[in-house]
Amino acid sequence: MSFMTKLFGGKKGDKQPTTGEAIQKLRETEEMLIKKQDFLEKKIEQEIAVARKNGTKNKRAAIQALKRKKRYEKQLQQIDGTLSTIEMQREALEGANTNTNVLQTMKSAADALKAAHQHMDVDQVHDMMDDIAEQQDVAKEISEAISNPVAFGQDVDEDELERELEELEQEELDKELLGVGPSVDELPSVPTADIAKPTPTKTKAKSRAEEEEDEYMKELQQWAS
């Protein structure tokens, strides 16, 4: 059984792990390998210390310590390479998992939009908008009708009113012109008694106004006789 099979578990034909499960297992493996790295690094330090301690005193023990250090360093390099591979694989799975989640969200949104549109018909929407526009026009006409003043009776001809006003003004002007001279009521009444002749007396020369008055009285006497 290969390492990856052991890592992800199961035999051929078993249910494959989900992306999230695979990412989690890769993280656990990374943690295990990092601990192994720490262990090997400590072992390398110990072997170096043994080699330094023995040195020339026990050359064989020092050489054996250095050989073990070499093996630990080789294992450490292998773990470094494995960690790099696992890290890249984990990042790829995380990216794929993100893409999967995004696609699932987009699909859910598309399905929801499709379900919402199933209850709608484009023609029905256009008909509804036409009805709304028509009702708005009706509402506008009603508002204009309510705002206009109510006209009682039939409409009045403005030209006819203008002519009537001109006639009234002309009548008023005629009255004013006739009122300039004395009316019949204002004329003096004709005297019925005999007009006494004035006693000749010595008077002063008459003025122009007095002469006109005398002339006016003579005309009245002639008219009355």
Position 133 in a domain = no
pLDDT of residue 203: 47
pLDDT of residue 183: 53
Residue whose C-alpha is closest to residue 50's, from 35, 34, 36, 66: 66
Position 100 in a domain = yes
Domain that holds residue 69: 19-121
Position 221 in a domain = no
What does each of the 225 residues of the chain score in pLDDT, given as a tens digit? 444 455 555 555 567 878 888 889 999 999 999 999 999 999 999 999 999 888 878 889 899 999 999 999 999 999 999 999 999 999 998 898 888 888 989 999 988 888 877 777 777 778 888 889 989 998 988 888 887 766 555 566 778 878 887 888 888 888 878 765 555 555 555 555 555 555 554 444 556 777 777 776 776 666 555
Q: Can you say whether the dihedral through the CA atoms of 149, 151, 155, 156 is positive or negative?
A: negative
Position 109 in a domain = yes
Position 82 in a domain = yes
Position 74 in a domain = yes
Question: What's the CA gap between 82 and 33, in Å, rounded?
Answer: 8
Position 174 in a domain = no
CATH code of residue 29 = 1.10.287.1060
Going by C-beta distance under 8 Å and a sequence separation of 6 or more, which residues neighbour residue 65? Answer: 47, 48, 50, 51, 54
Question: What's the CA gap between 57 and 40, in Å, rounded?
Answer: 26
Q: How many domains does the chain contain in total?
A: 1
Position 28 in a domain = yes
Question: What's the CA gap between 93 and 18, in Å, rounded?
Answer: 10
Contact call for residues 82 and 33 (beta carbons, < 8 A): yes
